[in-house]
Every structure is written in C-alpha cells, then in structure tokens.
Amino acid sequence: MNIPSLEDWIDSSEANAQPLAGVRVLVRSDLNVPLQGGRIADDTRIRASTGTLKKLRQAGARVIVSSHLGRPNGQSDPSLSLALLRDALSDQIQTPVAFSEDCVGPETRSKVASLRDGQVLLLENLRFHRGETENQPAFAAQLAQLADRYVNDAFGTAHRAHASTTGVVPLMAQSAAGDLLQREVKQLAAVLQPARPLLCLLGGAKVSDKLGVLKALAERADLLAIGGAMAYTFLSARGEPTGASRVEPDRIEAARAVEKAAAESGCRLLLPSDHVVAESMDTNAPTRIVEQIPDGWMGLDIGPQTAQGYAREANNAQTIFWNGPMGVFEMDAFASGTESVAGGVAESHAFSVVGGGDSLAAINRLNLGSAISHLSTGGGASLEFIQGLTLPGLAALES
C-alpha cells in the first residue's frame, strides 16, 4: 500500500528538530475503550494511540485528537463523553490535555486557536453528531477547518466510511497514516502472506457476524479452529446434538458451505469435541464437562480436551490469527477455554496476531501481551483486512 506516513513529514535523524512547529494536526485516534461504571475497563487502545501523539508533540505540532466512544447514535450522552478518557490520555503522553466540549463549532475553533506548539486538545465524541457516521460533507468540512494537516491513526475504524476517516481527507492539504495504523497494516499483511502452517482461531456468538471471514479463511488457512457459540451452529450442521446451545438455524447451510470450502482447499476445520455446559448462563449454575450435549443443557465454553488440542495446534503453527473468545469469557465459570487458548498462543514460537475485545482482554488479564507478536486494536477492521477487502479509511489515504 502506498500510504503517506509521519516519517514523510518528520526527519527522525534530526533529534532536536521541530519540523511541524506551529502546524495544527487533526489526529483521528481510536480511543473507543470499554467502560465499566464510568471507568476505563481496558486501556489498550489508549496506550496504542500514544506513540503518534508523542511523535507529533516532539515535532512541535499543535495536536487535535478526535475519536468516538461507543454508539451514541448522534445524540449527546454524558456516559460516553471523551472527558472520561482525558486523564488517562494525559498520563500516557505525559502532558496536560485540554478538552473541548464539542468536536466542531466556534468554541472548539477558539480552543484550537489557543493551542501552542506541542500542546494537545482532545475533542468531544465525534458520534454525538450524526454527520460523523453519515459522512456528511458539511460535518467533514467543519472538522477540516480545525487543522492544517490530518493523520489517521484509527485502524479500528478504517473499515468505516465516516466523516473523520474518509470525508475529511480530500479537504486537507496533506494527510498521512499514524504509526499505529501503519503497524496494523504491516502486521496483518503477514497473515495474508503467511509462513505456514497458518492457524486461524475464531470465536464469538454468531456465524452471521463472521461469515465473510470464515469463508475467506476456509480457503486460505491450513487449520481453522472454531469456538464460542458459533461452534454450535457448525455442530448442528453436522447433525450433532447441541441441546439448548445457541444455534442459528438460518445459518446451517452457510456453515456447511464453509466446511465444504475448507475441505476443497485442504484446510482442516476443527470443532469442539468436548464442552463445558450448564442449564443456564449463570456464573453460579452447576456445570458439567461432556462430549455430547444433553437436552436442556447449553454449551458455554470449549472443554479441556478441545482447549488442549487447540493449544497444541498453536505450538505447531508458524502463523496464528486469533479473533473472538472460546466461551462466555466474562464469566469465570466459562473462561478456562479462552484462557487455555491464550496460553497456547503465547507459548507458540509462531508469528501471532490477536484481535477482538475479549481475546485481548484474556491476553491482558493473563499478562501475556509481551509474548504475542501483534495485539490488534481493530476488531471488525482486522477481519475485513484479512479477507482482502478494501478499507475505506486506507483507500482515502492512498488516493
């Protein structure tokens, strides 16, 4: 991909130079972190975004940070205000961060005008305006008025044609990719052209959510190991008992088509051979480990035999891509499958990419991040990228 980078603006050989002194730079970051009780539950995306912000500050830029948080659907929602992230961002980039209570308009422009070289201003949630997700030209123009140059560092939204990812680009004098976005593209490209064998681990609730990537990986991977609730749609397609487990009846034929594509391309498709089951999705519900799910019971995690098998495959792989939990990871009673797979991926000598909220949460909770080659901040974006699809945010920068 021929995408301009920060290095095109900054001569790193001149350590004390400030080539962007006085330049207003609008940065589209991905600060869409999970919240619990109004507090940050996982700051991975904030930490991942700070490299670009620090580099711009050191170059003397006046940095304007924009992002979304959650899905406020074009309405102001204090529970999704980026003000909740201000202190954490300030701590990470080790400088005070100013805050604008809107992301456009006269008050925002006034705060931008008051910035000095190396200072940082955090804008309010972009998605408080419908113009963001609808990619309205007028909203994109208001964002463009704030800055001289633009940097997209939000790989997690690169698959969205929004005002802050695509609409603003042609309105700016110069645009570039931030360090995080560049790194994501480089590392995920290694999954598209992998050292083999390539093991892809996919979990999550619905086949429908990941049907495209299932089809693509069935044709490209050497092994495709499936966990989470979507495994039960595949097992049902094979005619195996699934009890009260979550099954998508309208995706049975799609599951069969994925399995057929895998067989035709020589990809081994692995499904759980044992399960952690309960009669209800309750952390206090009695559990059993079974090979066949009885009537009235639901599979809520892969069993230990399956988890060990998936971990062994990780040890034999040369490239690993993992997205999605193996069970109801947020409940301790059904977290062991995901944790075992996390351990197996971390212990492998393969080049490994892990993405998706719960997968990253498992890695972070077990302090295994340093053993993973790349922790991807892009859930849906990474899935679309490894399908070989065009991501609008990247295409805008290329053009």
Annotated catalytic sites, by residue?
45, 206, 357, 380
Count of Cβ atoms closer than 10 Å to residue 275 Cβ: 29
Question: In Å, how far are 67, 93, 106, 391 from 126, measured between CA atoms?
Answer: 6, 21, 16, 20
Report helix, strand or coil for 98: strand
Q: Among candidates 53, 56, 115, 124, which has minimal Cα distance to 89?
A: 53
How far apart, in whole angstroms, are the C-alpha atoms of residue 218 and residue 260?
A: 9
How far apart, in whole angstroms, are the C-alpha atoms of residue 265 and residue 320?
A: 18
Contacts of 57 (CB under 8 A, 6+ apart): 63, 93, 95, 118, 119, 120
- Write out the two tokens for 175: 């645009």
Q: What is the DSSP string of 61-94?
A: -EEEEE---S--TTS--GGG-GGGGHHHHHHHHT
Q: Are 201 and 268 in contact (CB under 8 A)?
A: no
How far apart, in whole angstroms, are the C-alpha atoms of residue 337 and residue 306?
A: 8
Angular region, 364: left φ>0, alpha ψ -120 to 50, beta rest: alpha
Per-residue burial over 82-102, b if 16 or more Cβ lie within 10 Å, else e, is bebbbebbbebbeeebbbbeb
Question: In Å, how far are 156, 211, 217, 320 from 92, measured between CA atoms?
Answer: 19, 37, 36, 30
Which element (helix H / strand E) includes 101? Answer: none
Count of Cβ atoms closer than 10 Å to residue 193 Cβ: 9
Contacts of 390 (CB under 8 A, 6+ apart): none
Contacts of 288 (CB under 8 A, 6+ apart): 276, 277, 278, 297
